[in-house]
Homo-oligomer: A and B are copies of this chain.
Amino acid sequence: MRRITLDDVANLAGVSPITVSRVLRKPDAVSPGLRLRVDAAVKELGYVPNIAASRLASSRTHAIGVIVPTLYNVIFAEYLFALHEVLVAAGFQVIVVNSRYSEIEEENAIKALLGQRVEAIIIAGTHHTPLSRQLLAQARLPVVETFELSPNPIDLNIGMSQEHAGQTATQHLIERGFRRIAFLTGNLDHRAQSRFDGYRLAMQEADLPNLEIIAERPRHSSVALGSDLFAMTHERGDVPEAIFCTDDNLALGAMQECRKRGIRVPDDISIIGFHDLEFAACAAPSLSSIATRRFETGKLAAERVLAALNSSVVSRAEQIDLGFALIPRESTAI
């Protein structure tokens, strides 16, 4: 049982294959009479065009590659949501690949996407293997690096200074008068590392000692992990005066563990998170955080890609800082 092809439809409708192709792609170029006959034949046979053949023949794929480090994180879900909304509406297919926080897997992902002849690549992060950079640069297609600011962008770069954000969160705690301030994280991917750098910079400037609460083996951020890490710290007996969590989930977990252990937030300990996830505002106490712009990042990246694909002008190496915002709430109130 063969698959139905354009020729089958053409035979049934009594027209040439190219006419069928046109009815499907630019119906206005075909007379109403033929169009109706072709449409009927398409429906009767249940014909679905073979996209691989179309891509091969036309050399346009209408596909955009997106690389994220993980799918297991709301941050990237929001970002992907925004990307999809814009790109799918514009008639593009979004091909999502995850690199699982590995630069080697990222390199493979890039190769796979180039093999698909995607028309643009949107990639979270700015740290890549040399070969990855080379492939992206040579590919002669729009590339957008997101979430961070790169010292040397490949093409377009839309993000924010993770380091500055980390520094700002820490300074907020320092200004509140705390001295024993801990940095809490489950892993140190590049963005967490940059926030950590910001933390250390702020602490150094204030002449304060670093306090680190870092999971022994890398684990992805979660409420449960926040609970665990705080519990461990408490049991070791060295509870700090304030904690900067690299993620709101961790912060929520830490707060809940505090309540369990009779430690009051913010009276006994202050906690600030990161990303301003939607529960932060309505947690009790409400959670201070650094608001980041995941949705806007995705939306803007998608829009810029569309603009680049629609204009023949090759615009290079622009950098857009979407910034962040400190949102002080009850969890760090004095």
Q: Name A's B-contacting residues (CB within 8 A).
A: 1, 46, 48-53, 55-56, 61, 70-74, 77-78, 80-81, 84, 93-96, 98, 111-112, 114-117, 134-135, 138, 140, 222-224, 227, 249, 252-253, 256-257, 259-260, 278-279, 281-284
A223-B51 contact given A135-B46, A284-B256, CB 8 Å threshold: no
Q: Give A94 to B96 CA distance when docked, in angstroms.
A: 8
Contacts of A73 in B (CB 8 A): 77
CB distance from A190 to the nearest CB of B (A): 21
Look across to chain B and name the residue whose beta carbon is closest to the beta carbon of A74.
B74
- Which residue among A72, A112, A259 has the maximum number of chain B CB atoms within 10 Å of its CB? A72
Look across to chain B and name the residue whose beta carbon is closest to the beta carbon of A249.
B279
8 closest Cβ contacts across the A-B interface? A52-B55, A223-B279, A52-B56, A256-B282, A48-B114, A51-B115, A71-B81, A259-B284
Q: Tell whether, in the assembled complex, residue B71 and residue A282 are in contact, meaning their CB atoms are under 8 Å apart.
A: no
Contacts of A253 in B (CB 8 A): 279, 282
Q: Tell whether, in the assembled complex, residue B61 and residue A52 are in contact, meaning their CB atoms are under 8 Å apart.
A: yes
Q: List 29 A-B contacts (CB under 8 A).
A: A46-B138, A48-B114, A50-B117, A51-B52, A51-B115, A52-B53, A52-B61, A52-B116, A70-B81, A71-B77, A71-B84, A72-B77, A72-B81, A77-B77, A84-B98, A93-B95, A95-B95, A96-B96, A222-B278, A223-B279, A223-B282, A224-B282, A227-B282, A249-B279, A253-B279, A256-B282, A256-B284, A259-B284, A260-B284
A224-B278 contact given A93-B112, A117-B51, CB 8 Å threshold: yes
Contacts of A279 in B (CB 8 A): 223, 249, 252-253, 256, 279
Q: Give A260 to B78 CA distance when docked, in angstroms.
A: 28
CB distance from A178 to the nearest CB of B (A): 24
Q: Give A319 to B264 CA distance when docked, in angstroms.
A: 50
Number of copies: 2
Q: Give A6 to B188 CA distance when docked, in angstroms.
A: 41
Q: Tell whether, in the assembled complex, residue B61 and residue A224 are in contact, meaning their CB atoms are under 8 Å apart.
A: no
Contacts of A138 in B (CB 8 A): 46
Look across to chain B and name the residue whose beta carbon is closest to the beta carbon of A70.
B81
Q: Give A256 to B259 CA distance when docked, in angstroms.
A: 15
Contacts of A252 in B (CB 8 A): 279
Contacts of A115 in B (CB 8 A): 48-51
CB distance from A98 to the nearest CB of B (A): 6
CB-contact partner of A56 in B1, B56, B114, B116, under 8 A: B56
Look across to chain B and name the residue whose beta carbon is closest to the beta carbon of A285.
B259
CB distance from A155 to the nearest CB of B (A): 17
Look across to chain B and name the residue whose beta carbon is closest to the beta carbon of A80.
B71
Contacts of A1 in B (CB 8 A): 140
CB-contact partner of A53 in B56, B77, B222, under 8 A: B56
A224-B281 contact given A72-B78, A72-B81, A84-B98, CB 8 Å threshold: yes
Known: A48-B111, A48-B135. 11 other contacts (CB 8 A): A46-B135, A50-B115, A51-B115, A52-B117, A56-B56, A72-B81, A74-B74, A84-B98, A93-B112, A249-B279, A260-B284
